[in-house]
């Protein structure tokens, strides 16, 4: 079994005291970071060009922190307030906690954050079929989610609050062969496929954070070795640690056998 020595994580480089670097020292690894996704918030005129008013909806859906930040920035620029009886659906508790910076205590109590994927929201939405849902995001629209909502006759709109562009790997990393690549988001998968359409995975391990990320990666032809969040593993760092431990245990078992 091939030992993991060279890892690529598709995130911006963390601070020098990040536990990722301690993990690299402990396991004698090379960990490289690269951000392939650049997000730029829409200007107010760009936002208005969509012809959609957020106030025509009463339930707002967020999957990431950037969408939250740019949505409330634009609302402030338009001098609009979210109605006090609005509801919020978030994919993941971390997204909900970020949302709480912008909404009041009463609104927080009307926030649903138990879903791990967008499609996990469908059962909740079906319990509130008269609600008008607005997906807030940017980049590629989650088509499967919209198809599921349409299947049940749910009212679901979309509004974009940022642009997504893709940034190639730094020259120093382009010719390296990695034993493991970690995709932290759907956007990172889409960026890789767009930038490197001829890439062949071969024996490189792929880790995915988020069930939607795992699903999209597999749809794009990747063989995903492991994913999070799941029971006992709640972060990308934890996933990487767990994967390294399991691979070490398997090598030990093969050696002793």
pLDDT in tens, the chain (257 residues): 578 999 999 999 999 999 999 999 999 999 999 999 999 999 999 999 999 999 999 999 999 999 999 999 999 999 999 999 999 999 988 899 999 999 998 999 999 999 988 999 999 999 999 999 999 999 878 888 999 999 999 999 999 999 999 999 999 999 899 999 999 988 999 999 999 999 999 999 999 998 889 989 999 999 999 999 888 888 899 999 999 999 988 876 655 55
List, in sequence order, every residue forming a beta bridge with 91; answer none if it has no partner. 115
H-helix segments, the chain: 19-27, 44-49, 65-77, 93-99, 105-109, 122-127, 143-151, 171-174, 186-195, 211-219, 236-256
pLDDT at residue 142 in the model:
87
**Are 154 and 27 a contacting pair, CB within 8 Å?**
no
pLDDT at residue 244 in the model:
95
Instruction: Report phi then psi at 40, rounded to 5.
Output: -130, 125
**Are 165 and 139 a contacting pair, CB within 8 Å?**
no
255: tokens are 């050696």
Q: Residue 206 belongs to what H/E stretch?
A: strand 205-209
pLDDT at residue 253 in the model:
63
Model-level pTM? 0.79
Residue 78 CB-density burial (10 A; 0-12 exposed, 13-18 middle, 19+ buried): middle
**Which structural domains are found in the chain, ordered by start?**
6-36+167-256 (3.40.50.10090), 39-163 (3.40.50.10090)
pLDDT at residue 255 in the model:
55
């Amino acid at each position: 079994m091939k030992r993991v020595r060279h890892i690529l994580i598709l995130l911006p480089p963390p601070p020098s005291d990040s536990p990722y670097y301690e993990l690299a020292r402990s396991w004698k690894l090379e960990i490289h970071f690269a951000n392939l996704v650049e997000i730029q918030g829409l200007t107010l005129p760009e936002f208005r060009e969509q012809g959609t008013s957020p106030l025509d909806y009463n339930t707002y859906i967020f999957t990431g922190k950037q969408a939250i930040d740019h949505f409330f920035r634009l609302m402030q620029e338009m001098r609009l307030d979210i109605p006090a009886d609005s509801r919020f659906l978030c994919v993941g508790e971390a997204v909900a906690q970020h949302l709480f910076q912008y909404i009041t205590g009463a609104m927080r109590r009307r926030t649903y954050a138990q879903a791990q994927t967008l499609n996990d929201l469908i059962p909740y939405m079906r319990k509130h079929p008269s609600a008008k849902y607005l997906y807030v995001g940017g980049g590629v629209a989650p088509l499967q989610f919209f198809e599921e909502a349409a299947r049940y006759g749910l009212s679901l709109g979309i509004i974009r609050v940022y642009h997504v562009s893709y940034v190639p790997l730094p020259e120093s990393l382009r010719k390296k062969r990695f034993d493991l690549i970690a995709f932290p988001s759907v956007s990172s998968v889409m960026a890789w496929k767009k930038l490197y359409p001829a890439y062949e995975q071969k024996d490189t391990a792929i880790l995915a954070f988020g069930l939607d990320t795992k699903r999209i990666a597999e749809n794009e032809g990747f063989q995903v070795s492991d994913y999070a969040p799941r029971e006992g593993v709640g972060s990308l760092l934890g996933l990487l640690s767990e994967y390294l431990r399991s691979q070490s245990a398997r090598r030990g078992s093969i050696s002793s056998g």
